[in-house]
Structure 1
Amino acid sequence: MNPPRRMRADALKNRARILEAARVEVELGGTECSLDNVAKRAGVGPGTLYRHFPTREDLISELLLTWVSDVEADADATATDRWDDVLDWLMRLVERARLYRGLASTMAATESDEDSPLRAAHAAVVEANGRVFDRAFHAGVVVAPVDSGEVIRLVTGVAMSAEQAKLDPAQVRSMLSIVLHGLTPPHAHS
């Protein structure tokens, strides 16, 4: 098998410009933003964009690499000794999902698509959440071990609702509190 070819310097620059343009376009227009606008903002033709990223999911997946690393680092740094610690974690997950309009629904749609490039990002978030909830269970904050995927589905639902209804952080926290109440013993809510 031949080793992968190294990209030329101009190709590397184009790729970096496409990713930066995509970051801006996704922040402005969501995950369903126009790929033509991404190419224009990057100063490249559509063919160049598609050579680097054959599908929208490939582009979004690459864009999410840093986002996923941030989620994983946050999960590892999250305290889980108190109910509010776990609620704060869930709030940060929703806030991160709201960074890119449409991200929560895009990620939810990839959960069962084994061929999706976004599946790895979704799996990493589920795993990071699992680490937080495992620690919360061992600390006695959560009643029993939980299915991290189910918790992520609930949080995704809150994130999607928050985005569509333009809920403020207090409303989002209240919704997440209802979710967390179902996972924790009554004495933990203090």
Structure 2
Amino acid sequence: MTMRADARQNRDRVLAAARNELAERGTQASLNAIARRAGVGPGTLYRHFPTLQDLLVTIVRDDVDTLCTHGRDLLSDPDPSAALRTWLRALAAHSTAMRGLLATELLTSAGTALHDCHQDIQATGAALLTRAEAGRTPPLRISDVLTAVSAVAWASEQAPPGDDARLDRLLDLVMAGLP
């Protein structure tokens, strides 16, 4: 069933407002604040997204699909280590987008669509890591690498104002221990 043009516009406004609200407030974001920011009534928001989880899934699924497509494209890069770093940098930026809310939701919500997003990230990262490792013994675990990158993303959010290079410095430290 196709959505009416005005309903589609309302939905798009809600998604844009949600991205901004979640980026600013993280776990303190509320559906009512998002509705106000989008200029729609709560009923409009709740018709499209009955819960915060539903809204997160919609936002995150598209971002994760883009991130994983980028990772698969990097599998043909002639420098596997550089490809892995490029993708991990993109992942860290993605992780900071909603101020830690996603990491909490992804890891604690087994069996949900957000957990499925995390599984897609793990599969893409594992493919890049395996290629970069080229037979390293013992092989690294992608779950450990992703945990380290999540920690880097969190730590970079704590940087004092003006320290925009912190994410890259911390990621360089993680990469020093990778192939």
Question: TM-score per shorter chain, which class?
Answer: 0.7 to 0.9
Q: Does 1:181 align with 2:176?
A: yes
What CA distance in whole angstroms lies between the structure 1 residues aligned with 2:81 and 2:113? 34
Shift of 1:85: 3.7
Amino acid aligned to 1:148: I
Compared CA separation, residues 147 and 11, structure 1 to 2 (3 A): same
For 2:93, the equivalent position in structure 1 comes to 95
SS of equivalent to 1:30: helix
Alignment partners' CA distance in 1, 2:50 and 2:120: 23
The residue that corresponds to 2:10 in the other structure is 14
Work out which of the residue numbers 141, 156, 162 in structure 2 matches 1:147: 141
Q: CA deviation at 1:177?
A: 2.7
Partners of 1:158 and 1:175 within 8 A in 2 = yes
Q: Which moved more, 1:54-63 or 1:83-92?
A: 83-92
Corresponding residue for residue 71 of structure 1:
67
Contact 2:80 2:128 in 1 (8 A): no
From 138, 153, 157, the equivalent of 1:159 is 153
Choose which of 26, 29, 48 in structure 2 pairs with 1:33.
Answer: 29
Q: Structure 1: how far apart are the matches of 2:59 and 2:104?
A: 17
| CA separation of 1:14 and 1:82: change in aligned 2, threshold 3 A | closer
Structure 2, unaligned runs of 5 or more: none
**Structure 1, gaps ≥5 residues long:** 1-5, 185-190
Within 2, Cα distance between the matches of 1:120 and 1:166? 34
Distance 1:143 1:182 in 2: 13
Identity %: 32
Query: Are 1:171 and 2:169 matched, yes or no?
Result: no
How far apart in 1 are the matches of 2:148 and 2:167? 12
1:137 — aligned with what?
133
Give the Cα–Cα distance (whole angstroms) in 1 for the partners of residues 160 and 63 of structure 2. Answer: 22
Larger Rg: 1
Aligned to 2:36, what secondary structure does the other structure show?
A: helix
Q: How many residues align?
A: 175
Q: 1:12 to 1:174 in 2, by over 3 A?
A: closer
Change in CA separation of 1:69 and 1:110 when aligned onto 2, cut-off 3 Å:
closer
Give 1:146 deviation, angstroms.
Answer: 2.7
Change (3 A) 1:53 1:162: same
Name the amino acid aligned to 2:168. R
How far residue 125 of structure 1 moved from its aligned partner, in angstroms, is: 1.5
Report Cα offsets for 1:146-168 as digits up to 9, x if no partner: 32222111111111111123484
